[in-house]
Amino acid sequence: VYLNGVELYRPQLVRSGQQEGLSIINSDMVESIRFSAGGFEAKYGDKMSSVLDITYKRPERLEASVNASLLGAGIYAGWGDKKGKFSLMSSVRYKTTSYLLGSLDTNGEYNPNFLDYQLFASWRPSSQWSLDILGNFADNRYSFVPQDRDTRFGTLFDARSFKVYFDGKEDDSFQSLFTAATLTRHFSPSTYLAAQVSNFSTNERETYDIQGQYWLSEATTATQLGVGTYMEHARNFLNARIFKLGLRFGTRLHGHQLLAGIDWRTEYAAERAREWEMRDSSGYSLPHSAESLQLIYALHSENSLTAHTTEAYVQDTYRHNSAIGLFNLTYGLRFTHRNWNNESFFSPRLSLGFIPSSYDNWTFRLATGWYYQPPFYKELRDTTMVNGVTYALLNQKTRSQLSIHALASMSYRFNMLNRPFKFTAEAYYKAISRLVPYSVDNVKVTYYGDSQTTGHATGLDLKLFGEFVPGADSWLTLSLMNTSMKLNGKNVPLPTDQRFALNLFFTDYFPGSTRWRMSLKLAYADGLPFSAPHQELSSNSFRAPAYKRADIGMSYRLFDNNDGSRHSIFRNIWLGLDCLNLFGINNVNSYYWITDISGQQYAVP
């Protein structure tokens, strides 16, 4: 993820979808967003999958917005002079997911609070110099005191009931600070040299002590399948800092656009983690042993990492207008050296775009390239078992993962019903080598740093975007994907293997009025694969049920600056009411595993 040309980072310990707070992208401050599912240019860094490039705007006048809902609030203000010499944007956002989490199977006191402050200032004292300063501070806190849980699952002929009473609580905090500055010397409108400096620091804490007493039984006959107690404990702390210095150069020369850059990055991370879980099933501690008392899971980790990385790239974009159409050729090369494992590699990348002269509504693109991903802290963790305790150490032999991309895409702009539409299609195949296997346990990603394997990702993305109703944007998307890795001679689905996803967003106005507006969002997607945690990865996995959701909203425009209203200080004001998850569908995002004394495991959604 890039913001104004600067790479962004995210917390390491956070559990995706549960403890995540606000996205660093503030839509009030965005000017443009570019996304590539693969085959991206050499100027973007070393990642295997995709790139999201966000550019913040530079306002030319006073502008502001305020929003509030039951899930949070936000304030944004921006200002800039008409000559374009100075602009400033600032925003504060607050989010809480208590209302959403309160509808889960586990009852309790949820107190998630996410706070975010952003600042972007741009100063151009003359036509030769410009200075951009970007800052972001995020304070995410997640507190949870569970009380009880009642889950019913299974089939009509094999129904299960899982009842738990809890003691204890969870208290997590994730604080991050990101700052960046870019000083640019403009030699001409097309030639520049820029110096960049950025710093990201994160202070993360994950602590919980939760005890649960559970009953697992058949829902129809009330026959008990398992009775027991479990206790989970964690004291996980991580401090990380990434400091980066870089130079950027760009110029245009005889139909060519040349870009080059060099970066030096230092990474520091220090972790201290203690985790364990005790399970007692039917009066026996698991795993059961007549000689000793053992825990079903215990982890000890105390490591630090200091790594320096040097990166450089050069790329050229050549545009040639011929009789048959416009060709756009972009080719480049990246070089990366990382001292942690003394690894160096080159990444060639190539893409070709074409717009036919006779059919300029069509655009075609082919792209390929080598995409390495140097391991950061979590991918480096290697585990060894000593007397039933898992010790995590950093594996200095872990090499960068590699993905070779082949991508083909097209877009077609057309008019239908006298309104503009755009259809895009993108197909990709990614051959992955030196892949670090990983699993997902309760939305927490765990890497297996002691081994590397091969895999692949292939997919097709289709999107239709346009005004099905005049003046209101809508879209329909269909995505197909297959991802897998090879383990023990078998192809195993990756935890992200969502084979299909269908999404619809539709907006409409009430007949005869542009003040009343309705929006409908539908989502239907394949379930993700899961396997039992705390075990070696194997092909013994299954899939969660398909994801289904419907949201509907109604909004009313109180007034519009374009309709002659006297309230000219505001552009417009909308009052809206949205119903999320209209049909109250419970979607599965993880499983809790219950083991009886015979060793049989039950996956409780």
What is the DSSP code string of 99-122? HHHTTSSEEEEEEEEEEEEEEEEE
d(C-alpha 73, C-alpha 71), whole Å: 7
Q: Which one has a higher pLDDT value, 245 or 418? A: 245
The dihedral built from the CA positions of residue 565, 566, 571 and 574, taken in this order, carries a sign that is negative
Distance CA 562, CA 444 (A): 49
Question: Does the structure show a pLDDT above 60 at 539?
Answer: no
- How far CA 597 is from CA of 214, 231, 241, 367, 531, in Å, comes to 14, 17, 45, 55, 20
Give the pLDDT band (50/70/90) at residue 244.
very high
User: Which pLDDT value is given to residue 294?
Assistant: 80
Average pLDDT over residues 37-53: 91
pLDDT greater than 70 at residue 245:
yes
Mean pLDDT of the chain: 88
CA proximity to 247, closest of 180, 313, 193: 193
**pLDDT above 60 (res 490):** yes
Residue 386's pLDDT band, with cuts at 50, 70 and 90, is confident
| 3 state SS of 379 | helix
Q: How far apart are CA 380 and CA 397, in angstroms?
A: 9
- Using 50, 70 and 90 to split pLDDT, how confident is the model at 181? very high
* Residue 537's pLDDT band (cuts 50, 70, 90): low
Classify residue 550 as exposed, middle or buried by CB count within 10 Å of its CB (0-12, 13-18, 19+): middle
Side chain identity at 200, as an amino acid letter? F
pLDDT at residue 569 is higher than 70: no
Residue 377, Cβ neighbours under 10 Å: how many?
Answer: 20
Query: What residues does 483 pair with on adjacent strands?
Result: 457
Q: For residue range 118-141, what is the model confidence (pLDDT) as tens digits?
A: 999 999 999 999 999 999 999 999
- Binning pLDDT at 50, 70 and 90, where does residue 450 land? low
pLDDT of residue 212: 92
pLDDT in tens, 297-326: 899 999 999 999 999 999 999 999 999 999
pLDDT at 533: 63
What is this structure's pTM? 0.85
CA distances from 401 to 4, 51, 377, 494 (A): 27, 16, 14, 15
The answer on pLDDT for 541 being more than 80 is no
